[in-house]
Structure 1
């Protein structure tokens, strides 16, 4: 859906498949998490798609990606960097970053 505040940007509801960091914060009611996705999974609204300051910020329906998020100005979740493709290497790098360890291939 179009973002009323930011021109040429949009919001989208995504299905949460896995949370690497901030699990308690995501399931806090301030982010409007609803359990209405397929298989009873949680869904959450993300803003910042189409942001010209972020290189990779355009998504399509049914994309499975790694989203790096922050709390936005209005309390919603917002993209803070490019959307990361879902690969085994990227999953391992993400997990290593969250754990505070060095990623060695």
Structure 2
């Protein structure tokens, strides 16, 4: 008599169990990878939006003659040739606003 119910575990059962455990681990790793990739994508999108906002503000600052703010903008690593999607540059905005100090 096998004792507690007589259920016998075969080599095939052990192999199936091990494969199932490996599949669960693989799925867990894939979920973690997808979460990391989604987080990185979100961070890149947020940085892109923040940079675009800074560019818009810099164009407004150039128009208004806010030289100190423009210098901070450049200090943050932005290029002096910064332009918006229409090709409007800091120089053209400063000229349009009559901001001689920024030209």
Higher strand share: 1
More helix as a share of residues: 2
- Same fold judged by TM-score > 0.5? no
TM-score (norm 2): 0.23
Asked which structure has the greater CA Rg, the reply is 2
